Amino acid sequence: MKENIKKIKVLLESLPYIRGFAGKTIVIKFGGAAMTDDKLKQSFARDVVLLKYVGINPVIVHGGGPQIGVLLKKLGKETRFVNGIRVTDADTMDVVEMILVGKINKEIVGLINYYGGRAVGLGGKDGGLITAKKLVVKGEEMGFVGGVDSINPSVITSLEASNFIPVIAPVGGGLDGLTYNINADTVAGTVASALNAEKLILLTDVAGVLDKDKTLISSLTLSQARSLITKKVAVGGMIPKLKCCMEAVAGGVRAAHIIDGRVEHAMLLEIFTDAGIGTAIGLKN
């Protein structure tokens, strides 16, 4: 009994957060360790279902992962990378879409449903959700690597109206009728802006944005974030993540978060505790 009362007290501590986010939309980029580690993956699915049941609307955007490379290798297909981005020819794109939409997406949908949610998987072509545009990186032809031209969120809002949880694969259809692979962070950020989301959460494999002396920065304004890039404190893969967050906030998202997906329940820790976790980017500190 004592144990149970302690539990109820903990439940009650979440009330202010539940109240604060009731009816709000939170877009979560699901990727990295959180997506490859079985235990983290299951935790994540259950966390998403909890969010839905306490009245918050989660929208999941997932990335790809090692599975693409594995299948390409099995098929004897070699890949070249430019600036960390896979140059994607038509055959590679086929494999990428199959893995993203036909495997990873459905695995997540299945897991969420297993924990009692009602997820619906979407590729960017479904309902015309994501219109892609060809991306050119440093003047190099990248093939079927695209950026986001526009987001038409009507299929998401239709599904949310019936309490489904949308799970989005980062693939878009071009006006040329072709299919493009898009960076999942970019998709998450533009979808969050299009939905006027309360939060954008990027699950990553780092603790967050670090200072010169490698200590975690817990919050950043847009100008502070800009300065970090200019001053080359933020480097490497963190730069596009920071930019993605900054654009989302500039596009109307209340706050964007870069958090450590290697920590179990990282997303809930961010949402349901005052301490938060990782780095928050917003209009104000």
Q: Which of residues 123-142 bind its own copies (CB under 8 A)?
A: 123, 125-128
One residue of 33, 229, 233, 263 binding its own copies per CB under 8 A: 263
- Where in 139-158 is the site for its own copies (CB under 8 A)? 154-155, 158
Q: Is 75 exposed, middle or buried (0-12, 13-18, 19+ CB in 10 A)?
A: exposed
Residue 2 lies near its own copies (rule: CB under 8 A): no
Residue 88 or 244 having the CB closest to its own copies: 88
SS3 call for 168:
strand
Q: How far is the CB of 270 from its own copies (least distance, A)?
A: 10
Q: What angle do CA 113, 46, 118 make, to 5 degrees?
A: 25
- Where in 28-57 is the site for its own copies (CB under 8 A)? 46-47, 49-50, 53-55
Mask 69-88, x = binds its own copies (CB under 8 A)? -----xx-------------
Residue 102 or 237 having the CB closest to its own copies: 102
Q: How far is the CB of 11 from its own copies (least distance, A)?
A: 5
Q: In whole angstroms, how large is the CA radius of gyration of the chain? A: 19
C-alpha 210: how far from chain center: 20
The pair of three-digit structure tokens given for residue 230, joined into one six-digit string: 């200019």
Q: How far is the CB of 184 from its own copies (least distance, A)?
A: 16
Residue 98 lies near its own copies (rule: CB under 8 A): yes
Nearest Cα residue to 90 out of 149, 174, 148: 174
Q: How far is CA 219 from CA 109, 237, 255, in A?
A: 32, 19, 10
Residues sharing a CB contact under 8 Å with residue 260, sequence separation 6 or more, in sequence order: 203, 204, 205, 206, 207, 208, 266, 277, 278
Residue 115 lies near its own copies (rule: CB under 8 A): yes
Residue 164 lies near its own copies (rule: CB under 8 A): yes
Residue 120 lies near its own copies (rule: CB under 8 A): yes
